Amino acid sequence: MTSLAETPGEVWCHRYIYQLTFSTRGCIHCAGKLVFKSSRSYAWCKTCRVKISAKAVTWLRNSNLSYRQIYQLLWCWQKRKDPGFIHDAPGLSYTTINRWYERFRAHLPQDDSRKLLVDLVEIDESFFGKKRYKNQKIVIGAIEPQTRRIKLQIITDREAETFEAFVESNVASSSVVMTDSHPSYNDLDCLGYTHYSFNHSKGEYTNTNQIENLWGVIKRYMRKLYGSIPTKHLQSILDEWTARLNRPSLFISPENYLDACLFRIS
């Protein structure tokens, strides 16, 4: 699928979600064989005669959107389309679109806990939101430039203990670590890291430019979706970007995401 116009039809989308939901077992009441009719919005148990809908047993419940609309929203979210883009297509409100984007984020799998291992790792911190609106948050991040795996975390201050705790839990001690010249990074050598710091005020950006770029990309993305940087969505946006970079296969197609993230009965 390379454009919204290529979204499969309602029957196809419904059947796909139905098969994901029920293929591993039959009826949720008696495990009997289910019959699926494309023309109906539910499957029907041959044994206990109960009607079961795929929506009702997954987190797609309580939605009056068609399966095809859910597919379209999912594809738009995967491809980073802003609500204005979709608004023109299936005729959904901005609120609905942003609520579904939030749902897709909420059902991403947890990031694996593996530390960044490749020998070179860039680390940096950035402010999100505005201080004068009292909603500013600090995010610290690490990236392996070679693999583009990342780790992101909201932190409460820029003390050495905070930076060190992040680095120790996310970066293997055999790594070479690149940071800016913030003094809270000064003792990373004592923790066993080979540490190089670069002074941004002297224009030395080249060795942390991947993580610097990532801040720009995430902030632009938030402005595109919300028109600002609403820090109440920050954690879920960071989780989304962690998944985008660490598990890119989830973003290839709606099927890829649904295979991994739709609740299954098992």
- What is the binding site for Zn ion (CB under 5 A)? 27, 29-30, 32, 45, 47-48
What dihedral angle (degrees, nearest 10) is formed by the CA atoms of 18, 76, 212, 239? -30
User: Nearer Cβ to Zn ion, position 47 or 93?
Assistant: 47
* Shortest Cβ 17–Zn ion spacing (Å): 20
User: Nearer Cβ to Zn ion, position 31 or 252?
Assistant: 31
| Cβ atoms of residues 78 and 253 within 8 Å | yes
User: Nearer Cβ to Zn ion, position 48 or 252?
Assistant: 48
User: Nearer Cβ to Zn ion, position 45 or 86?
Assistant: 45
Q: Which of 58, 25, 34 is nearest to 257 (CA)?
A: 58
* Shortest Cβ 49–Zn ion spacing (Å): 7
* Shortest Cβ 47–Zn ion spacing (Å): 5
What dihedral angle (degrees, nearest 10) is formed by the CA atoms of 100, 104, 106, 111? -160
User: Nearer Cβ to Zn ion, position 40 or 99?
Assistant: 40
* Shortest Cβ 74–Zn ion spacing (Å): 30
* Shortest Cβ 31–Zn ion spacing (Å): 7
197: Cβ contacts below 8 Å, ≥ 6 apart? 178, 179, 180, 181, 182, 185, 186
SS3 145: coil
Q: Measured between alpha carbons, how far is 198 from 212 in angstroms, rounded to an integer? A: 13
